[in-house]
Structure 1
Amino acid sequence: MCVALDHAGLVVAVFRALGSPARLALLRRLSVAPARVGVLSEELGIAQLATSTHLGILRDANLVVARRDGRFAVYSLTDGAAVAGGRPAALERIAGYVKAVGRIQVHNCALVDGLPSPGIQRRMRERPGVPV
């Protein structure tokens, strides 16, 4: 599986969305049941404005959706983020992204601390002048 460039934006959005403990807590909470911003804010101890901002980032990553209930928005996990085995399926998608990113081959991608890995060094010695 390879991440196509047209999917790169979504992959970045998903990784960004998962880069915050507050957003992970929101995903965990929404895996139990849909909720309004005020309820989420109160239960998680996060200011309403910050909760709304975090939910917007999760929405941009297609991890949550909002539906109108009168004056309020009720947030829930998207179908693609549905819970499977007690863990959001969105995290399963992330595992796929990580595997795909690991397969992307970039010249000297195995650099560690500025030095090529032993395998790359061996290939460089065996085939000088050929991109590794």
Structure 2
Amino acid sequence: MKHFSILILFATLFSGCSMSFNYTFWSQKAPEPTVAVVKEMKIAPANPLLMYELDITDRPYTSLGEIEVSLTKLNPWGKEPTKEEAEAKLKEEGLKKGADALIFVRYEKVGVSYNRWSGIAAHAHAVKFTRY
């Protein structure tokens, strides 16, 4: 009987704590939302890197080097990499080099080998314009 009364005492004590916590938690008011005023908004192009299949003849440029990317499909059930994904990866690598444009852009399908099922490879030459 003594143990039972101690158990009832602890149950009452702990249930009272949790109820007071819940009560104070739900009785609090939410903070008022703040309003931000935007005075000027500049929109940057999504991917400012230009891509050409041939050489640029109307603007002088300096060469930054070759860029090569490869996207592979590792098993027959995987998703086939697309030309758009390879183009996005090329642009990403070109921006890392600080290029303004990619010239001589080429895509090629890659066949089966010991470590891939298929894929696509993309090659380009990164350039930086010396005069706009």
Name the TM-score, length of structure 1 as normaliser.
0.24
If each structure's helix is expressed as a fraction of its own residues, which one has the higher value? Answer: 1
If each structure's strand is expressed as a fraction of its own residues, which one has the higher value? Answer: 2
Larger RCO of the pair (alpha carbons < 8 Å, separation 6+): 2
Larger Rg: 2
